[in-house]
Structure 1
Amino acid sequence: MGAAAGAERGVRVLVAPDSFKGTHAADVVAASVAAGLRAAGVEPVSMPLADGGEGTLDVLRGAHGGTVHDVPVTGPLGAPVTGRLLVSADRRTAVVETASASGLTLVVPHPLGAWNASTRGTGELVAAAVASGVGRILLGVGGSATTDGGAGAIGSILEHGGLRGTHLEVLCDVTTPFERAAAVYAPQKGADAATVARLEERLEALARRLPRDPRGVPRTGCAGGLSGGLWAALGAELRPGIEVVLDALGFDEAAGGCVAVVTGEGRLDGQTREGKVVAGVVEASGRSGAGLPIHAVVGQSLLGDAESRALGLSSVTVASTTAELVEAGRRLGRRILDEHRAASPGAGGR
């Protein structure tokens, strides 16, 4: 045991997963996988991630520090709810999550709700962030119940005096354009085929009225077109949420001291490439020149082996419970150590 521990000293693996939506927060996934890696003799470096969806505020709080404020706002169907607003320690940056004000978890999915759901509460949160005096607002737009093209949020922000020079950055988790928002996402919000058609017509009408046309522009379809509405009406900047998070947390520097990366998300599927955490981690590793093997631990995978390899993954492990996550970490730890020893003659210390 002592010889093995000595041989494996300094073998670090970056653990950088997203949350498993509806089951485990990102920090729980990271801690569970890290426990397995540690049991295998690997030193884990935990970095829970988010892509602009739920959990983004908490992840960015780790980078920016600051205080989370509870803000009374209008929920997606008009009832009062409590939204969350993070003001950074230096009071220069605010972070807002659409999900806390206009989120799908706040409603029961139904065709009528899918039609009526409004982003007004998100606009109220943005207005509160402007009133706090920050110069920059980061708005995560994942997990919404809405397909109003941002009409509710735009109206609310303008009613409160607009952005007043504050730079609004929308952290996008998909690249879908404005006109596809209803067809792609409204069904998961309770819309039936007839409601999807009506929502498409409403988005088209809104696009024609906005100062800029968001149709055809990548990332304008996030949160049922909220991102596109804010871009068109208020000049918001649309950014890949995962890139903003990785930069804030210092991913490149952390990866530079590791021999591999373990990432993950609730489901690996066709949307993973559109700005989700796993694809973002693969791209960031490539840009940094680290060239590290990247392993994914996911709750469910709809991709075949060839598709996973094309994505840039060395392996995919399916695990849903915390016990399974720990075991996945343990098995990956053994594999990573074996590969490290094979690539580094003498690493076995014997």
Structure 2
Amino acid sequence: MSDELHVVLCPDSFKGSLGADSVAAAMARGVHAARPTAQIRALPMADGGEGTAELVTHTLGWEWHLSDVHGPTGTHLTAGWGYDPVRRRAVIDVASACGLDQVPADRRDPWQLDTRGVGELMRAAMDAGAMHLLVGLGGSGTVDGGAGMLRALGVRFLDREGNPLPATPAGLTGLERMDFSGLDPRLADVELIILNDVDNPLTGPHGAAAVFGPQKGLATEDVGIMDAHLGRLAEVIDASGRLLRPAGTPGAGAAGGLGFALACVLGGHSRMGAAYLADLIGLDEAIAAADLVITGEGKIDGQTTRGKVVAEVVGRARRMRVPVVAVAGDIACSEAQRAELGLADARALVDETVSLEQAMAEPARWIAVRTQVLLEEHLGRQSQAG
């Protein structure tokens, strides 16, 4: 290792605690505490969930826009999205328009909520000139199959007599047909990329209602009814001649069925969020010039290998023979599992000396402390080996 240490920081957010950029800043303080002369490159990461749009915009120097849209309950809210005017690319998070945190606890009834704001964000991006839309699925509070989004983009939902229906699941109980003649024609020329990290179909035991509905307030006894509603929605779309892919397509159940509307109805292309974003921000080039990579997320466990940021970072660094260490809020795996994942070392904020309450109260402080210890021990091992 050269005297001048080059470190790349590429953590995910610690959900409910710190955004990825704040995590990287705390890690940087820990690195400098251990090695003041270290050269640091911070490339905060995401997997397509909350914070993706802001992260991409900040990292790549895109413009940040604010739009007034309808939230999941129908009230107005301000949602941000990023835009690259040179290459006419836009990035949005569905959570900013229909996120679970946008729904008051006493109104978490998916039958009454919709995704209209997502379609309004897409229209705002196209109004600005976007020809490429990057949509991060994650953190949604809705289970409407993307009906609200389609309505905002010009699709009409009609009952037996041809009367228009509201696009909430409850409002579509009398759905008989759909009119796509008003669908925004610009969509035909727009490349639509969907960032996702789940492979659930729209319906069935692994579908949107069964897996994600209860997390969003859907009563257990209503899961089967909502599942049937989503199936009916797909049938009506198919009868309209607009179903481009079957409802069983992997990822169709993401974000309460938004994945279905985006991929199976609008023809979007699904990508694993962490991998796509790593390519977009140039992570490989940064790792290639590094002596050490430090990553992290709220929890490292058995799910980490399934398209999560830490696994993506480790996989890329391993190919270049660059060691990776991690800081996490909690580590729920054995040392053998950690080694199998490919991490040279890892530290949790919470241990026998720091409680969960302490870690949550001062996450940045403890991230910096754990990072400092990790780096000092890593450098110590390197010194002994040399």
TM-score by length of 2: 0.80
* Separation in structure 1 between the aligned mates of residue 100 and residue 25 of structure 2, nearest angstrom: 27
Query: Are 2:117 and 1:87 aligned?
Result: no
Q: Does 1:194 align with 2:221?
A: yes
Question: Which residue of structure 2 aligns with residue 14 of structure 1?
Answer: 8
- Out of 89-98 and 118-127, give the one that drifted further: 89-98
Name segments (4+ residues, structure 1) moved above 6 Å: none
Matched to 2:27, the amino acid is V
**Which residue of 26, 41, 52 maps to 2:48?**
52
Secondary structure of the corresponding residue to residue 10 of structure 2 = strand
What is the deviation of 1:214? 4.1
- Seen in structure 2, the aligned counterparts of structure 1 residues 270 and 30 have a Cα distance that, compared at 3 Å, is same
Aligned residue in 1 for 2:210: 183
- In the other structure, the counterpart of 1:126 is 122
Tell me, yes or no, if structure 1 residue 172 matches structure 2 residue 163. no
Q: Percent identity?
A: 37
Give the match for residue 257 of structure 1. 289
Gap change, CA 1:34 and 1:129, over 3 Å in 2 = same
Does residue 314 (structure 1) correspond to residue 344 (structure 2)? The answer is yes
Aligned length: 336
CA shift for structure 1 position 150: 1.3
Once the 2 structures are TM-superposed, how far is the Cα of residue 213 of structure 1 from its aligned partner? 4.5
Q: Could you tell me how far 1:267 is from its partner in structure 2? A: 2.3
Q: 1: distance between equivalents of 2:77 and 2:255?
A: 18
Shift of 1:258: 1.4
The aligned counterpart of 2:378 is 336
What's the RMSD between the two structures over aligned residues?
2.2
Change (3 A) 1:341 1:112: closer
1:1-350 correspondence runs (5 A): 9-41=3-35, 42-90=38-86, 92-109=88-105, 113-159=109-155, 161-162=184-185, 163-179=187-203, 180-210=207-237, 211-286=243-318, 289-319=319-349, 320=359, 321-343=363-385, 345=386
Which protein has the bigger helix share? Answer: 1
Say which structure, 1 or 2, has more relative contact order (CA 8 Å, 6+ apart).
Answer: 1
What are structure 2's unaligned runs of at least 5 residues?
156-182, 238-242, 350-358
Secondary structure at the aligned position of 1:178 is classed as coil
The one-letter code sitting in structure 2 at the alignment partner of 1:278 is: V
Structure-2 separation of matches of 1:130 and 1:189: 30
Q: Which amino acid aligns with 1:104?
A: L
SS of the residue 1:272 aligns to: coil
The one-letter amino acid of 2:324's match is I
Q: How far apart are the structure 2 equivalents of 1:215 and 1:142? A: 19
User: TM-score, normalising length from structure 1?
Assistant: 0.88
Asked which structure has the greater CA Rg, the reply is: 2
User: Structure 1 unaligned runs (5+)?
Assistant: 1-6, 346-350
> Quick check: 2:244–2:267 contact (8 Å CA) kept in 1?
no
Residue by residue over 1:271-327, the C-alpha shift from the partner in whole angstroms, topping out at 9 and shown as x without a partner, is: 3333221122123334xx212222221122333333333332233321242111011
Deviations 1:96-116 (A, max 9, x none): 111111111111346852332
Question: Which whole-Å CA distance do the structure 2 matches of 1:249 and 1:167 have between them?
Answer: 19
Relative to structure 1, the CA distance from residue 203 to residue 272 in structure 2 (aligned partners, 3 Å threshold; closer, same or farther) is farther
